[in-house]
Structures are given as structure tokens and as C-alpha cells.
Amino acid sequence: MPVLHNRVSNQALKARMLAETEPRTTVSFYKYCRIDEPQALRDVLYLAFTPLAVFGRIYIAGEGINAQISVPQSRFEQFRTTLYQAHPAFDGLRLNVALEDDGKSFWVLRMKVRDRIVADGIVDATFDPSDVGGYLRAEEVNALVDDPGAVFVDMRNHYEYEVGHFDNALEVPSDTFREQLPMAVEMLETSRDKKIVMYCTGGIRCEKASAYLRHHGFPHVYHVEGGIIEYTRRARELGLPVRFSGKNFVFDERLGERITDDVLAHCHQCGASCDTHTNCRNAGCHLLFIQCPACAEKYQGCCSPECAQELDLPADEQKARRAGREAEMKIFNKSRHRPLRMRIPGKEA
């Protein structure tokens, strides 16, 4: 029986990846489609992708597939052919190639079967995720940005919106996609007659959100095809103005792709202009927050003096503290409802 999961430590795998000399291509893709046997498809793809040295995260569910991966450039075409042949619905699906890419984002292949490829909290059996809004390409997006009859809706989390968004886009202020969906319906209630343009990183969330709005009776719903990644690629390719400002947050070690030179956010500790996300270096915290270089030096890459002090403790004491800390009682997390508790004179970080 072949091994269908990784048995090597993350540390060793990361070292192997960093020692590679061949360039890699980072790519994301998704497809909403019916998959009758998700576990069987997962195992087939795992066995096919492992020899190709595909690294990253792939989620498979009865409703489709969602992936963020990297693959050696010499094996990219073989990977694409293998993917397209794995399921009839995968043939020709769009692959979003990273805009900024050093190929060092992933070092292991993790493939999981889930109930949904995006956790949406929808329990309505009459909801049809395939009844989506109209797709918009970059040139069509630009035509609508300044249209007073259009409303752009950002379907990403608050920490993604903070560092970059389309001009005048509406933020749906929530921590999770499942919270956003009903909130978006409520916030857009007075805009039912307008053109609703939804967008996200690579298209997967805004596509489902467009179906959710249509399910709730919104007549003019659209979404940006391929999300920010495809929009930016095509706008640059066609020489169009890029109307997305700032950074596009990505869920790998890069934590962001620069789209324009605009810096929209501020350091969460001192308030300086900055849009660099980082995770607190204290292993018992790992809060995702924005930190400028000066504060990174001052607090040793930590989110607070308390975390910096804990980082200085002997390793065994740090481990003991982490073991005794209940996850739900953590002081720090990435929630907009429980932000950094630091206090800077004259400011609240």
C-alpha cells in the first residue's frame, strides 16, 4: 500500500526545499463542481503530484477543489496535464500564477478532504453555488470602478482589506467568510437596484458570495474573474490602469504581493505608514499583525513587550507556558474584535 501522507518533519522538508536550485512556480486554482468521491480523488491526486514535487495545500470536497501550490518549472506542464485529466470538470480550469514569486512559499504537500472547500456556514438546502453572478474581466472592472451605479464589495477578511483594496470598495467587517455572507446581504439591502461587484484574492470566495446574493434576490450581481490576481495580471498585460491599490494579501509565507506602490495601512504598534504583515515571533502567540522595521527591532518581531519578554525565557519555560495556555484564552489573535492590546502614548495600537 503506497504512503498517502507525509512522514518527514517540517523542518527537514523546509531545508530540502530551500536547498533546491530549480525555480518553482506558485499557482492557485479552484473549481466548484460535483465530486462524488472526494477521498478517492484526493488519493489519486496525492499519488500523482508527489513524484512531481508539488508542494502546497489542496482541499477537496463534494462541492469542488481549492488549492495553493508550487511546482518545479520543468514539471509545470506535466502537473497541468495531470490536473486537467483527473476530473472532467477540471479540464481547462484557470490557474492563477502568483504575481510576485520566489517559489519558496511551500515545502510539503498537504491534501485534505473537507465538507466545503470554503467554510461558508450555509445550511439552506435550496442554495445553488453554481448559480453565480456574471464574470468581469479587467477592462470591464475598470469601466465599473467609477460608475455611480456600481458598488464594489470586498469579500476578504479585515486584515486583507487593510493593506489593499479597489478604490472605494465596501469592506464587510468580519473575521470569517461565514460571517460575511449574511452581513453582506444586510449591508447591501439599500443597494439592490445597483450593480454589485464582488471580489476576493483568487475568485473562490467572491464567486460563492455572488451566488449567495443571487439566492437572496439581488438582480445585478457580478464578480471579478480570477479575483485580484487575475485582474492585475490581465490589466498589466493590456496596459490598463490598475485600480486596485496597495498589497494583495496571500496565505503563504510571503503574506502579500505588491500591486501598487500605495501604502494604505499603518504599523499596529506606532502608527507609522506600513503594510508589512508578520506573525509574532513568540510561538505561544503568533498573532498576525502589521509591524514597521523600527518596531520589529524594538520588540524583537513580537506584538508586545510581554511577548518579547516571553521570547527571552529559556526554551523549556516557554514551552511550559504554551502548554498551560488555553487556545480560547489567548490574549492575542488576528480578530478585529480583539486587536492588539498595546497602548502607545497618544495612540491605541
Q: What is the mean pLDDT of residues 313-338?
A: 58
Whole-model pTM: value is: 0.77
pLDDT at 310: 85
Average pLDDT, the chain: 85
Q: Per the residue annotation, which of 200, 280, 292, 307 is the catalytic one? A: 200
Contact call for residues 60 and 35 (beta carbons, < 8 A): yes
pLDDT at 38: 95
* Residue 329: CB atoms within 10 Å: 6
Q: How confident is the model at residue 343 (pLDDT cuts 50, 70, 90)?
A: very low
What is the three-class DSSP state of 105? Answer: coil
Backbone angles phi, psi at 24, to 5 degrees: -115, 155
Contact call for residues 275 and 249 (beta carbons, < 8 A): no
pLDDT tens string 32-48: 888 999 999 999 999 99
Residue 329: pLDDT over 50: no
Distances (CA, A) of 63 to 49, 55, 204: 21, 23, 12
* Residue 202: CB atoms within 10 Å: 25
Q: Which CATH architecture has domain 134-246?
A: 3-Layer(aba) Sandwich (3.40)
CA distance 260 to 170: 19
* % of the chain surpassing 90 pLDDT: 54
Q: What is the mean pLDDT of residues 158-186?
A: 91
pLDDT at 5: 61
What is the three-class DSSP state of 78? Answer: helix
Residue 346: pLDDT over 60: no
Backbone angles phi, psi at 304, to 5 degrees: -160, 160
Best CA proximity match to 50, nearest among 19, 27, 29, 75: 75
CA distance 88 to 306: 53
Contact call for residues 87 and 41 (beta carbons, < 8 A): yes
Active site residue 285: no
Please give the residue that has the higher pLDDT: either 283 or 245.
245
Residues 100-130: b if buried by 16+ CB within 10 A, e if exposed = ebebbbbbbbebebeebbbebebeeeeeebe
pLDDT at 94: 86
pLDDT tens string 174-227: 878 889 999 999 999 999 999 999 999 888 899 999 999 999 999 999 999 999
pLDDT at 307: 86
Contact call for residues 240 and 136 (beta carbons, < 8 A): no
Q: Right CATH number for 10-113 from 3.40.50.1820, 3.40.50.300, 3.20.20.70, 3.30.70.100?
A: 3.30.70.100
* Residue 241: CB atoms within 10 Å: 8
pLDDT at 143: 94
Q: What is the DSSP letter of 169?
A: P
pLDDT tens string 88-147: 999 988 898 887 666 677 888 999 999 888 888 888 889 888 889 999 999 999 999 999
pLDDT at 6: 63
Extents of the domains making up the chain? 10-113, 134-246, 277-348
